[in-house]
Amino acid sequence: VQSLEGAAEAVAELFKAKKKLIILSNSASPSSSTIAKLPKLGFEPSNFFDAVTSGEEASKYVKKQYAGKKALYITWKIKPNTPSPTAFLEHCDNLATTSNVDEADFVLLHGVDVVRGPDGDELDLGDFFKLGQFEGPLDEVLAKAAQRNLQIVCCNPDYISVQPDGSQAHMPGAIARRYEEHHQGTVISFGKPHAAHFQACIDRLGLPPAKVVHVGDSLHHDVAGANASGVDSLFVTSGVHCDEMESQFGQMPPDEKLEA
């Protein structure tokens, strides 16, 4: 993953102009992990005032609402050079997990690859990340969870993510939406576009909403969330909506797309 050309330089200039910069992310990782990744992307961490991640806010909720309980943990496969899925459980006060729906008190939706049990046992949910297909093990797990009226706690409400090669990957938010709309299940999500996520940033900045502008590439999460929070937004057209906007990095979309 790389930052957009000129982004690091723009951040440095804003910092020199004494503007407060805070990261508002739908990452399921803790805020400290998000700051730690910045040098690999070409950014100077000290240029940022703070970070608020959906994972950080979700872990606070889990610790408060499900202390001593057991989660059905939908997460990522273990991959080289990425944080271990167990790290998030540690951030939730070493939350207990199960791979058995009948033993779970709720569903912790952290990733999309596997249901991970306490001994490292995994139920593969198929290639939802690339294909976005629910049929098979994933839908079976969701159906069983809905039958037991288990709440899903979604740590990353993004529907899709644009990969370095330009392809689109499917994210936990799409599973949460499927659970609500198809299985009539209950979901609580943390992150954009929820106003509370934006308010957490505003509170840390100590500024009125009228003095804050949000930059993002998702109409569903960034622009909608900013509007709901009374914050102005800058829409990056070359991100997740690049095909719809007929836009590429460094190019303005056609006028008719901007006017639509």
pLDDT at 181: 97
Q: Tokens 């909608």 map to which residue?
A: 224
Q: pLDDT tens, 112-135?
A: 999 999 988 999 999 999 999 999
Q: What is the token pair recorded at 172?
A: 């936990």
Q: pLDDT tens, 6-65?
A: 899 999 999 999 999 999 998 888 888 899 999 999 999 999 999 999 999 999 999 999
Task: Give the length of the chain.
Answer: 260
Q: Buried b vs exposed e over 11-36: b needs ≥16 C-beta within 10 Å?
A: beeebeeeeeebbbbbbbbbbebbbe
Question: Which carries the bigger pLDDT value, residue 67 or residue 164?
Answer: 67
Average pLDDT of the chain?
A: 91
DSSP 215-240: EES-IIIIIHHHHHTT-EEEE-TTST
DSSP 144-167: HHHHTTPEEEES---SEEE-TTS-
| Omega cis (within 30) before 193 | yes
- Give the pLDDT mean for 181-202: 94
* Confidence at 164, pLDDT banded by 50, 70, 90: confident
Q: What is the token pair recorded at 140?
A: 């079976």
Question: Which carries the bigger pLDDT value, residue 257 or residue 65?
Answer: 65
Task: Flag whether pLDDT at 166 surpasses 80.
Answer: no
Q: pLDDT tens, 68-106?
A: 999 999 999 988 777 788 889 999 999 999 999 999 999
Q: For residue 27, give the nearest of 99, 72, 91, 80 by alpha carbon.
A: 91
Task: Flag whether pLDDT at 142 surpasses 70.
Answer: yes
Q: pLDDT tens, 130-139?
A: 999 999 999 9
Residue 155 to residue 181: CA distance in whole angstroms: 18
Contact between residue 38 and residue 11 where contact means Cβ atoms under 8 Å apart:
no
Contact between residue 13 and residue 44 where contact means Cβ atoms under 8 Å apart:
no
Contact between residue 90 and residue 62 where contact means Cβ atoms under 8 Å apart:
no
Contact between residue 22 and residue 207 where contact means Cβ atoms under 8 Å apart:
no
Q: Could you give the residue ranges of the DSSP H alpha helices within the chain? A: 7-16, 31-36, 54-65, 85-91, 128-131, 137-147, 172-181, 195-205, 224-228, 242-245, 255-259
Phi first, then psi, for residue 169 (nearest 5°) are -110, 155
Q: For residue 141, give the nearest of 90, 189, 182 by alpha carbon.
A: 182
Query: For residue 143, what are the CA distances in angstroms to 114, 129, 203?
Result: 16, 19, 38
Task: Flag whether pLDDT at 1 surpasses 70.
Answer: no
pLDDT at 175: 98
Task: Flag whether pLDDT at 188 surpasses 90.
Answer: yes
The percent of residues in the chain predicted with pLDDT above 90, rounded, is 72
Residue type, 223: V
